[in-house]
Structure 1
Amino acid sequence: MLPSLVLFIGYEHPGEICLNIPVLHVEFHKAATTSEDMSWCCLPRRAKKQENAYSNSIGGIYSEKNIRLFSYAELRSATDNFNRTNKVGRGGFGTVYKGTIRNGREVAVKVLSAESRQGIREFLTEIDVISNVKHPNLVELIGCCVEANNRILVYEYLQNSSLDRALLGYNSEPADFTWSIRSAICIGVARGLAYLHEEIASPIVHRDIKASNILLDKNYIPKIGDFGLAKLFPDNVTHISTRVAGTTGYLAPEYAWHGQLTKKADIYSFGVLVLEIVSGTSSSRSILADDKILLEKAWELYEAKKLNELIDPALGDYPEEEVVRYIKVALFCIQAAAARRPSMPQVVTMLSKPIRINERELTAPGYIHEYRSTASKANTSSHSRSKNSASEDSNMFSTVVPPTVTEMSPR
């Protein structure tokens, strides 16, 4: 006679959950019965059912959105309790840890420090939008955690860290960055920004383009990180790039002075980034030997027709005409008058093709020189071809007329 088991309406013990099901008569072979067979009846709290309980605790949003939800316990385990030895970066929005999730994939876990005014549903709606923004030059957002007061983002992990560390850091090896690699980084970042600005239904202004937010994969392909944070947090959240001290090298003057955040602010920051990549010098950390910041020095060398002196000596062999063209494109991006800066699609064209640039349209850069005064406009010498137009668009190509540019807020 086969043994049988009668299951009654269940109850809960500390440490386990027994299923509440109708009375049921089940027959089975004794030899086939193991502890694993019974796992579907009495479940430890750490078993798979916990994931469903976590999803249900936020109103079933998990099933409604194209996002992956991680529990706090899972991310704590993945990062060894957020061990400081796994810390790979820190920015104005939070600390980033390297972790390994259950399927063995390495991830970057960003614990957000800024407090969002959004509720869970609104937060996850924005995450859902961002998770569908995919481009080869944007860091992939894998999922998030919104458990209790925690707001954590989980990104793909990139082996070569940030451009800030790899090229501009004190222990970097700039000789490893050939011109081929540096030019590919410039074009890749430009394409990523062009996608965010012009190619998605709801354009995103990054508002924090800088070397530490450009991550490099194992082949040095650049990916823009933190591109969705402008959507996740309100404009009044203070983070590192809205405080003039510390990152003034990347801030567009109109953004720093008047809070005017448009696509043009991103374009300005990109221009600074290109100057850093070409020169191997950090704009936000370095003052040059002659007490000039990088932007000021670049304009001075441009006027003196000595732009080749800005090129990183560690670069080795390089096509001088092409490198000088990159510097000129950067100068177009950092012009003081925001309306005169090119759009990112125009920048991609100027960088990727040997187009003759109409330098008669180039005007002096704008910057904040915190070392001489709290806010000063660009130095414009008597030899400068500066124009006082703040509203007219710039015709940067001698053979191409740029399309009309519509400035747009990030929201």
Structure 2
Amino acid sequence: MDDACSRPTLMPLDLLREITNGFSEERRLGSGSFGKVYEGVLQDGKKIAVKMLYDMPGLDDEQFKNEFKNLTWLRHQNIVRLVGYCYDIQEIQVMHEGRLILAERTHRALCLEYMSKGSLENYLSDECDRYDWHTGYGIINGICKGLKYLHNELEPPIYHLDLKPANVLLDENMVPRIADFGMSRLFTDEQTRATRSSLGTFGYLPPEYIHNNLISNKFDIFSLGVVIIKIMAGRAGYFNSAEMPSREFTDLVQEKWTTKLLETFNLRKAYSAQVRICIKIALSCVQEDRHKRPTIQDIVDRLNNTVAKCTDAARMDWFLIYQDSLGHLTQPGNISNLHCEQETPSKNNPSPSYDMEADKNIFPRYAQDPIDKHVNHIYHGSTFNQDTATIIHSTCFEENASPTKAVLDGDSPNDNQEYSADGNSLPGVEGFQISGDPKPGSTLRACGFSINGTTVCHIQWVHYLKDGTRHSIEGATTSDYVVTADDVDTLLAVDCTPMDDNGRQGNLVMEFANNANKITCDPELQNDVNICISRGRADFDVFVLMYSPEEWEHATLVLRRTGYQVNLSRKDEILIDEKYSPNVQIKIPIGRTTQFILVSSRGVNLPFNTQGITEPSTEDNDIRLRDLTVLVFRAFQNKTPLSSLVLPKETDAISFAKEKNIDDIPSS
């Protein structure tokens, strides 16, 4: 009986009498339409709830057995679990036509897991002061998930038909469990039709049932709406909602709960928005037209979305607090040049400038590779100005956004808008999201809907590192961003600050890539890196930019555990041969998908290019070779331990070397 996956146990009537103290009134927990519930204490001290069904005419044995068989398989964290049952037939003496005769009496009981906190009904009050918002939301979310299980994950589905606070039980952690579901299914069809007018509880019955005896899955949705309103607005909340305009009622409930929130800034705003969405869901559930009510899947999806936003807000506050404690709190840069558009960096149209230190460059300017189809502009040695923000016209968000959520009960993007001191709504972005595969070489795109007159947006891609620090990615100031080896093992995010033509600035919107998980290599690329490190040396064919703007020369970049060499193929000349040191760096310029910069220990910048090196020469292969070279270089420089590697077989290493154009891989 302790195993949550075990089948319910047959329990004799005498045992039930014993553990309930003879079904005494002291042990009675409550009663419902079909029976009384008693507290039972087993020999090991554990408690169960024993529901003795009334001996009612019309209860069909075969129907009971068939429906009971369905109930035994219900397994969900938000459904009260059936742990045992009783089906006992006893002979009793009854008076019949003036004399005693023997007759059979059937005792039926369902034994359920015991919920120590009782029913939700005990916690409702007009002040809603018996639980905080986190507990209240957990109850709402749990009820919805349990109902989704009954409606969508069972075949045939089960309609509860009497969902109300008294039938929502709470465990010791205030986790809700739906009870008494589908009890009307235990009766024959004739009895069900005859008693339909008494199904459910007044106040939770939908109009179509009251007027036309119509039962559908929207029956439970209406009852759910009433329950949520009572959780959020108290016992009288449903009647108040009917007397007030929906917007006014929503504002009132949101304000009441928001004043109780003690969270940090962004998290408090996210929870306040969650409150508003929950009450709007509830109001959409109690619409008179059942066709306008949402499905339980719509509701659960909407709730899950609020949880994701609260998680992002909590992470944002944590980073800001951490940075502030270190004195690294980043303030938004000054906004300038409101109508300046810049090209979007991508594989086919990269940004026109390197983010390198021009004063250390040994060349007068960076040259365009005549065979590089990605480059359409002359390179400029420049340093990104942190005080100058790049502005992207907001129309790029509108065109690229792809909303996926249905609007519930007239919900609109403006419901959670912010207001300026003069009462006018501030510029904003709704549905902000990142699309694309978050792997090195792939392009991510930040997009959303502009609202409240937003015409331009300040975009900045950022890294969150292991120590909690936040670094803006220099030059990454357009909506498209190509993931590189620089992003591996970091949290990648994008900041968006909306503005309008009057220069008014809205609140910062932030979104994490990869579902707020660290960027990682794909397994094949990581395996390639491990092979190179395990061999202790890797030779990469590359192009290096030499003494004139268009002079790219073929070279070999030799990487070893202790240092590196740059060998010019045409002259058989060693250009650089040195050991790794803290001054040696390898950088990836924004928008240059096949290029990287090697900064020597003397501060010399050498641009490299893998465009056209691979065989077969494809854009993806060239990008992959660039990222592989950078990752192997950094692994050797950082002294990656061999014990951390998952090494391939020898034959795999040899075939890999041939495929990736890596020479001189020594044997073991």
DSSP 3-state at the match of 1:227: coil
Deviations 1:282-306 (A, max 9, x none): xxxx5xxxxxxx4352144344534
Equivalent position of 2:83 in the other structure: 142
Cα separation, partners in 2 of 1:199 and 1:116, compared to 1, 3 Å: farther
Indicate conservation of the 8 Å contact 1:109/1:155, yes or no. yes
Higher relative contact order (CA 8 A, sep 6+): 1
Equivalent position of 2:184 in the other structure: 230
Indicate conservation of the 8 Å contact 2:11/2:86, yes or no. yes
Equivalent position of 1:82 in the other structure: 23
Whole-Å separation in 1 of the counterparts to 2:42 and 2:195: 29
Cα separation, partners in 2 of 1:122 and 1:243, compared to 1, 3 Å: closer
Equivalent position of 1:263 in the other structure: 217
The yes-or-no answer on 1:317 pairing with 2:367 is no
DSSP 3-state at the match of 1:202: coil
The yes-or-no answer on 1:195 pairing with 2:149 is yes
Equivalent position of 2:326 in the other structure: none
Equivalent position of 1:298 in the other structure: 241
Deviations 1:303-356 (A, max 9, x none): 453423246958862433321211110111111111111110111112231468
Equivalent position of 1:273 in the other structure: 227
Whole-Å separation in 1 of the counterparts to 2:32 and 2:255: 27
Cα separation, partners in 2 of 1:69 and 1:345, compared to 1, 3 Å: same
Amino acid at match of 1:71: P
Aligned length: 285
1:240, distance to aligned residue in structure 2 (A): 10
Alignment of 1:225-374 (within 5 A): 225-234=179-188, 236=191, 242-243=197-198, 247-281=201-235, 286=236, 294-303=237-246, 305-310=248-253, 317-318=260-261, 319-354=271-306, 357=407, 359-360=409-410
Indicate conservation of the 8 Å contact 1:116/1:234, yes or no. no
Equivalent position of 1:167 in the other structure: 124
Greater strand content? 2
Cα separation, partners in 2 of 1:143 and 1:240, compared to 1, 3 Å: farther
1:242, distance to aligned residue in structure 2 (A): 4.5
Indicate conservation of the 8 Å contact 1:72/1:145, yes or no. yes
Amino acid at match of 1:260: L
Whole-Å separation in 2 of the counterparts to 1:71 and 1:240: 31
Deviations 1:165-203 (A, max 9, x none): 1334x9xx9434110011111111001001100111221
The yes-or-no answer on 1:157 pairing with 2:98 is no
Equivalent position of 2:42 in the other structure: 101
TM-score (norm 1): 0.62
Which ranges in structure 1 are unaligned for 5 or more consecutive residues? 1-64, 287-293, 363-397, 400-411
DSSP 3-state at the match of 2:56: coil
Worse overlay, 203-212 or 351-360: 351-360
Cα separation, partners in 2 of 1:274 and 1:324, compared to 1, 3 Å: same
1:234, distance to aligned residue in structure 2 (A): 3.9
1:229, distance to aligned residue in structure 2 (A): 1.1
Whole-Å separation in 2 of the counterparts to 1:153 and 1:143: 6
The one of 200, 206, 213 aligned to 2:167: 213
Which ranges in structure 2 are unaligned for 5 or more consecutive residues? 1-5, 90-105, 262-270, 307-404, 413-447, 450-668
Larger radius of gyration: 2
Indicate conservation of the 8 Å contact 2:55/2:107, yes or no. no
Amino acid at match of 1:162: S
Question: Aligned-pair RMSD on alpha carbons?
Answer: 3.1
1:237, distance to aligned residue in structure 2 (A): 5.1
Greater helix content? 1
Amino acid at match of 1:164: E
Indicate conservation of the 8 Å contact 1:264/1:338, yes or no. yes
Cα separation, partners in 2 of 1:241 and 1:219, compared to 1, 3 Å: farther
Whole-Å separation in 1 of the counterparts to 2:17 and 2:249: 53
TM-score (norm 2): 0.39
Whole-Å separation in 2 of the counterparts to 1:254 and 1:104: 47
